[in-house]
């Protein structure tokens, strides 16, 4: 093995020496770079790569000139980095020299680099105008002619880089401002940024000044004549003007487009041309609405003749006025019976809009007037006709009474009206009663009595006087007192409780259906509210309270003769208690709760007479009676009870009485299992009420009460006993006087079965104990055999020692299987018999019904 290693070492040394003695040419370096073209200002890296692991020094050449490091040229290891300038274009080579060995490679293959000058972008504005208004849209365009699709663009305002926002957006070489405002004003520049050669950016363009007005003027509207309103058939010319150039104008009436022109003309307007006119000045996508100009067009106004003269007497002076409801200057023309009128010999005078007549018999007829607007050639239609009737020398008097009732009540206002049937005016009126003048104003044809009284009964006359013309007429006036009302209360009782209903009646026997009624309490007028209502001659109080107490009066008020009221009735005193007593509930025993089967007796009472009673459980009605009784309560009677006492429409609820019903204390009946009872065959039962109080007990066998009061009952386990049913209940001197009755217990054969099961279990326990003691004694008393082995030789093999050496425990274990097997067989036999007996007992016991075992199943495990 050692010789083989020496041989391999020798071979390796020979191979190493041979390899060191061989020679090769130096490797040729290669220039690696993705840069064959570059823009001025870009950073370009060239790497000189040699495919071996020696340490080399590198030299770079451009053309025939060696490159040295400076601010624009940096050589680090095998990498040449250029900050490209215009003179960096050309052919590059590299050469490497092996460190410490004076070995130089050949030059690398040449690598060409072409340097381009950065293009110059141009900034322009896409519009015909240079000044913008707020909300106008603006578009700037940055153009690079060389490889335009390879450039992205950066935008600047006042030298600061711009970014997109809600108004400014970029798309390709375009900057758009969707809504210009003053913050967008300033000097804009842009530059290109190459898409794939990220550091490459062009220079900025020359600054473009953008001007933005701080406000947008509205177009102004003018019209040829500033009339308000225009009349039909006049000419209307509207002009729209907006400062600046490039505007188009659109005219609108409301939302309807009319024409596109700075001028809008209607040669002959009509009423349908009335409306709101507006013009819109538009430049590109930007538009400005003018203020709304309202053009009102109406037909010329219609004149009206105003005059109180429709009838006149011969020789009187009559004036007619032609009235137009505006402030223009009009010229008036008059017509009678369709004929144009002219002034005539002092009987017909026309001045301005007034026509004055000194009435002659031929002046009766139909008068009209017409007006012409000066300087506008506008003519109105004729006025409606005004008739004038000419009478003879004397007027006809008409004397009326208002109101025209045959009898006037005292306090009522009455007017006597004196009129002239011919509708003439300027008469004097003299009123007399018993030949004595009673009026002071002769110009008033009405004599008014503000509040009639009995002394104003009498004969009244009216005398009319105008110039020398007089005439008179008389009328009798009758005045009487209003009727007397009576006040009564509509109930059987005079004293009321809060919330009770009350009705008062005010009666007037004379023309009872023609009167309304006013109500007073303690002299103050009453009005309807949430409690008080009026219906006809009745006052109803839906819910009386103490504020309604007092002295009530009423009076009548005539329905059609409004000022007429009767005198007040005599006062009626109304008494109202300050509180309403509640109906009182009582029960014969005032227990906090009742036990089942007890009697409950409830009574409802209310002070006073005339009450009816209704009982409720919760909201459910029960019986109408003052008494509610339950002879034997149960859980179904649990609840809240109250009664209602009712008198007329008024009712009073009692307080709520809670009836609580509680189950009687539960009692448990159990079988007491004692060893002595099992051996003697006796049966001991225990009765227990577990509520913490001392109880006596009553026992029942087959329904018959036993003479036992203890909680324990002992009985012999004979045939009669085990087939009988036992029950018990607790007895006490305090409520509850007795408990619930226990469930029944029937023993059947359970006593004898448990005796047998206990005996078998004891036998099995004894057998197992004896068997275990026997096995322990057998193991202790039996001695193991001792084997002596001669030691023939002090030197023995390991195999022999393993075969011959054995421990005493092993010998015992080898000899004892027979004894252990015997013990195990006996134990299994006994265990199997025990299990069989127990299973048989349990099965038979479980077959007994639970109703007979009465909760004693726990004994099955014994």
Which pLDDT score, from 0 to 100, does residue 583 have? 82
User: What is each CA distance from 709 to 504, 688, 691, 743, in whole angstroms?
Assistant: 74, 12, 18, 18
- Tokens linked to 139: 């578009």
For the ranges 258-262, 787-791, 855-859, the lowest mean pLDDT is seen at 855-859
SS3 state at 225: coil
Residues in a beta bridge with 431:
462
Q: Where does residue 826 fall: left (phi above 0), alpha (psi -120 to 50 degrees), or beta otherwise? A: alpha
Cα 726 to the center of its chain, rounded Å:
70
> Using 50, 70 and 90 to split pLDDT, how confident is the model at 154?
very high
| CB burial readout 284-315, b (16+ within 10 A) else e | bebebebeebebebeebbebebebebebbbee
Residues in a beta bridge with 466:
469
> Using 50, 70 and 90 to split pLDDT, how confident is the model at 503?
very high
Tell me the pLDDT tens digit for each residue of 451-480.
899 999 999 999 998 766 788 899 999 999
User: What is each CA distance from 645 to 250, 303, 607, 628, in whole angstroms?
Assistant: 86, 80, 10, 14
Segment 59-80 mean pLDDT? 90
Which pLDDT score, from 0 to 100, does residue 751 have? 61
Q: Where does residue 751 fall: left (phi above 0), alpha (psi -120 to 50 degrees), or beta otherwise? A: alpha
Look up residue 87 and give its DSSP letter. G
Segment 140-169 mean pLDDT? 90
Segment 340-350 mean pLDDT? 88
Q: Can you tell me the distance from the alpha carbon of 614 to that of 623, in angstroms, rounded to the nearest whole number? A: 6
**Cis-peptide into 229, omega within 30 deg:** yes
Examine the pLDDT at 627 and tell me if it is beyond 80: yes
Tell me the pLDDT tens digit for each residue of 572-608.
999 988 888 888 887 767 677 888 888 888 999 887 7
Give me the DSSP letters along 20-71.
HH---PPPPPEEE-S-SEEETT-EEEEEEE-SSSS-EEEEEEETTEEP---S
Look up residue 828 and give its DSSP letter. H
At a CB cut-off of 8 Å and minimum separation 6, what does 50 contact?
Answer: 27, 29, 30, 56, 78, 96, 105
Segment 373-400 mean pLDDT? 87
At a CB cut-off of 8 Å and minimum separation 6, what does 813 contact?
Answer: none
Examine the pLDDT at 16 and tell me if it is beyond 80: no
Examine the pLDDT at 81 and tell me if it is beyond 60: yes
Which of residues 237 and 859 earns the better pLDDT score? 237
- Mean pLDDT across the chain, nearest whole number? 82
Integer Rg of the chain from CA: 67
Which pLDDT score, from 0 to 100, does residue 816 have? 41
Write phi, then psi, for 762 (nearest 5 degrees).
Answer: -65, -45
Segment 133-151 mean pLDDT? 88
Nearest to 860 by CA among 835, 842, 847: 842
At a CB cut-off of 8 Å and minimum separation 6, what does 761 contact?
Answer: 838, 862
Residues in a beta bridge with 683:
715
Which pLDDT score, from 0 to 100, does residue 22 have? 53
Give the DSSP H or E segment for 150.
Answer: none
Nearest to 697 by CA among 746, 662, 742: 742
Segment 557-570 mean pLDDT? 88
Segment of 137-151, 155-169, 458-472, 585-599 carrying the highest mean pLDDT: 155-169
Tell me the pLDDT tens digit for each residue of 818-845.
444 444 444 444 344 433 333 333 333 3
Decide if 640 contacts 618 (C-beta within 8 A). Answer: yes
Residues in a beta bridge with 172:
none
- Tokens linked to 558: 């005539």
Which pLDDT score, from 0 to 100, does residue 673 have? 67
- The rounded percent of the chain whose pLDDT value lies above 70 is 85
Examine the pLDDT at 507 and tell me if it is beyond 90: yes
Burial degree of 543 (CB within 10 A; 0-12, 13-18, 19+): middle
Segment 399-408 mean pLDDT? 91
Q: Can you tell me the distance from the alpha carbon of 390 to that of 313, in angstroms, rounded to the nearest whole number? A: 6
Write phi, then psi, for 136 (nearest 5 degrees).
Answer: -70, 155
Q: Where does residue 184 fall: left (phi above 0), alpha (psi -120 to 50 degrees), or beta otherwise? A: alpha
Which pLDDT score, from 0 to 100, does residue 803 have? 37
- Tokens linked to 728: 């018990």
At a CB cut-off of 8 Å and minimum separation 6, what does 546 contact?
Answer: 498, 576, 577, 578
Burial degree of 838 (CB within 10 A; 0-12, 13-18, 19+): middle
Q: Give alpha helix (H) positions in 786-816.
A: 798-804, 808-815
Give the chain's length. Answer: 862
Q: Can you tell me the distance from the alpha carbon of 393 to that of 406, in angstroms, rounded to the nearest whole number? A: 34
> Using 50, 70 and 90 to split pLDDT, how confident is the model at 521?
very high
Give me the DSSP letters along 496-536.
E-TT--EEEEEE--TTGGGEEEEEEETTEEP---SSEEEET
Decide if 417 contacts 477 (C-beta within 8 A). Answer: no
Which pLDDT score, from 0 to 100, does residue 2 have? 57
User: What is each CA distance from 659 to 593, 602, 624, 626, 714, in whole angstroms?
Assistant: 7, 10, 19, 17, 42
Which pLDDT score, from 0 to 100, does residue 21 have? 44
Look up residue 577 and give its DSSP letter. -
Decide if 314 contacts 390 (C-beta within 8 A). Answer: yes
Write phi, then psi, for 416 (nearest 5 degrees).
Answer: -110, 120
Q: Where are the beta strands (DSSP E) in 522-611?
A: 524-525, 532-535, 538-541, 550-558, 572-576, 584-587, 594-595, 600-605
Examine the pLDDT at 790 and tell me if it is beyond 60: no
Segment of 144-148, 328-332, 397-401, 785-789 carrying the highest mean pLDDT: 397-401
Which pLDDT score, from 0 to 100, does residue 279 have? 95
Helices and strands, counts by H and E, the chain = 8, 74
Nearest to 231 by CA among 276, 181, 274: 274
- Give the dihedral sign, CA 96/102/105/107: positive
SS3 state at 351: strand
Segment 56-84 mean pLDDT? 90
Cα 279 to the center of its chain, rounded Å:
45
Q: Can you tell me the distance from the alpha carbon of 182 to that of 179, in angstroms, rounded to the nearest whole number? A: 10
- The rounded percent of the chain whose pLDDT value lies above 90 is 34
Tell me the pLDDT tens digit for each residue of 98-116.
888 888 999 999 999 998 8
Nearest to 646 by CA among 607, 612, 623, 615: 612
Decide if 375 contacts 407 (C-beta within 8 A). Answer: no
Examine the pLDDT at 552 and tell me if it is beyond 90: yes
Examine the pLDDT at 60 and tell me if it is beyond 90: yes
- Tokens linked to 197: 């050669």
């Amino acid at each position: 093995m050692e010789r083989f290693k020496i041989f391999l070492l020798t071979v390796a040394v020979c191979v190493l020496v041979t390899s060191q003695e061989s020679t090769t040419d130096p490797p040729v370096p290669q220039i690696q770079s993705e840069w064959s073209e570059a823009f001025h200002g870009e950073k370009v890296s060239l790497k000189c790569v040699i495919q071996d692991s020696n340490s080399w020094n590198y030299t770079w050449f451009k053309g025939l000139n060696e490159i040295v490091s400076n601010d624009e040229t940096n050589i680090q290891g095998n990498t040449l980095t250029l900050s490209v300038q215009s003179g960096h274009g050309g052919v590059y080579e590299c050469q490497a020299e092996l460190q410490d060995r004076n070995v130089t490679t050949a030059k690398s293959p040449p690598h060409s680099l072409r340097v381009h000058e950065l293009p110059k972008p141009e900034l322009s504005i896409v519009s015909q105008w240079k000044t913008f208004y707020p909300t106008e849209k603006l578009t700037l365009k940055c153009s690079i002619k060389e490889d335009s699709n390879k450039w992205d663009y950066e935008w600047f305002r006042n030298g600061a880089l711009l970014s997109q926002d809600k108004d400014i957006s970029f798309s390709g070489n375009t900057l758009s401002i969707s809504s210009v405002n003053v913050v967008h004003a300033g000097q804009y520049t842009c530059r290109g940024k190459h898409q794939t050669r990220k550091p490459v950016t062009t220079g900025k363009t020359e600054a473009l000044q953008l001007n933005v007005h701080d406000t947008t003027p509205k177009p102004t509207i003018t019209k040829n004549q500033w009339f308000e309103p225009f009349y039909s058939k006049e000419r209307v010319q509207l002009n729209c003007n907006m400062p600046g150039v490039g505007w188009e104008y659109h005219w609108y009436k409301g939302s309807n487009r009319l024409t596109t022109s700075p001028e809008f003309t209607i040669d002959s307007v009509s009423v349908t041309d009335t409306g709101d006119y507006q013009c819109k000045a538009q430049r590109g996508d930007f538009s400005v609405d003018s203020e709304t100009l309202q053009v009102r067009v109406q037909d010329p106004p219609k004149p009206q003749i105003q005059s109180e003269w429709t009838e006149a007497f011969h020789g009187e002076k009559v004036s007619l006025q032609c009235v137009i409801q505006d402030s223009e200057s009009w010229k008036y023309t008059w017509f009678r019976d369709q004929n144009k009128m002219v002034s005539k010999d002092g009987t017909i005078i026309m001045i301005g809009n007034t026509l004055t007549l000194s009435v002659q018999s031929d002046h009766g007829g139909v008068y009209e007037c017409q007006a012409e607007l000066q300087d506008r050639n506008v003519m109105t239609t004729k006025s409606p006709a005004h008739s004038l009737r000419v009478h003879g020398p004397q007027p006809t008097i008409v004397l009326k009474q208002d109101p025209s009732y045959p009898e006037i009540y005292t306090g009522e206002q009455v007017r006597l009206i004196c009129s002239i049937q011919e509708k003439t005016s300027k008469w004097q009126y003299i009123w007399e009663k018993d030949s004595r003048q009673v009026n002071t104003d002769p110009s008033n044809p009405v004599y008014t009595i503000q509040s009639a009284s009995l002394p104003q009964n009498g004969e009244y006359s009216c005398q009319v006087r105008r110039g020398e013309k007089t005439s008179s007429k008389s009328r009798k006036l009758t005045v009487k007192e209003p009727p007397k009302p009576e006040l009564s209360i509509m109930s059987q009782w005079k004293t009321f409780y809060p919330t009770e209903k009350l009705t008062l009646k005010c009666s007037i026997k004379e023309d009872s259906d023609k009167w309304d009624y006013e109500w007073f309490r303690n002299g103050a007028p009453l009005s309807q509210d949430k409690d008080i209502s009026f219906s006809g001659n009745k006052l109803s109080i839906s819910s009386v309270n103490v504020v309604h107490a007092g002295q009530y009066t009423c009076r009548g008020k005539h329905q059609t003769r409004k000022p007429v009221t009767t005198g007040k009735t005599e006062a009626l005193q109304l008494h109202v208690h300050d509180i309403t007593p509640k109906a009182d509930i009582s029960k014969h025993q005032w227990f906090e709760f009742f036990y089942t089967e007890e009697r409950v007796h409830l009574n409802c009472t209310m002070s006073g007479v005339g009450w009816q009673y209704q009982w409720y459980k919760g909201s459910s009605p029960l019986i109408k009676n003052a008494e509610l009784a339950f002879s034997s309560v149960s859980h179904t009677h649990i609840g809240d009870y109250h009664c209602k006492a009712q008198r007329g429409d008024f009712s009073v609820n009692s307080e709520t009485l809670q009836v609580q019903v509680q189950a009687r204390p539960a009692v448990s009946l159990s079988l007491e299992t004692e060893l002595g009872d099992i051996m003697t065959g006796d049966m001991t039962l225990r009765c227990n009420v577990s509520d913490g109080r001392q109880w006596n007990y009553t026992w029942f066998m087959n329904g018959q009460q036993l003479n036992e009061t203890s909680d324990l009952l002992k009985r012999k386990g004979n045939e009669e006993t085990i087939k009988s049913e036992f029950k018990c209940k607790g007895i006490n001197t305090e409520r509850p006087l007795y408990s619930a009755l226990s469930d029944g217990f029937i023993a059947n054969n359970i006593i004898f079965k448990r005796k047998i099961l206990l005996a078998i279990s004891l036998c099995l326990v004894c057998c197992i104990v004896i068997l275990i003691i026997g096995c322990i004694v057998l193991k202790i008393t039996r001695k193991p055999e001792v084997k002596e082995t001669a030691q023939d030789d002090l030197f023995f093999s390991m195999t022999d020692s393993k075969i011959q050496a054995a421990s005493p425990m092993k010998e015992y274990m080898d000899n004892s299987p027979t004894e252990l097997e015997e013990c195990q067989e006996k134990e299994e036999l006994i265990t199997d018999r025990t299990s069989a007996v127990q299973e048989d007992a349990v099965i038979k016991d479980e077959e007994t019904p639970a109703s007979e075992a009465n909760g004693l199943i726990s004994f099955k495990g014994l």
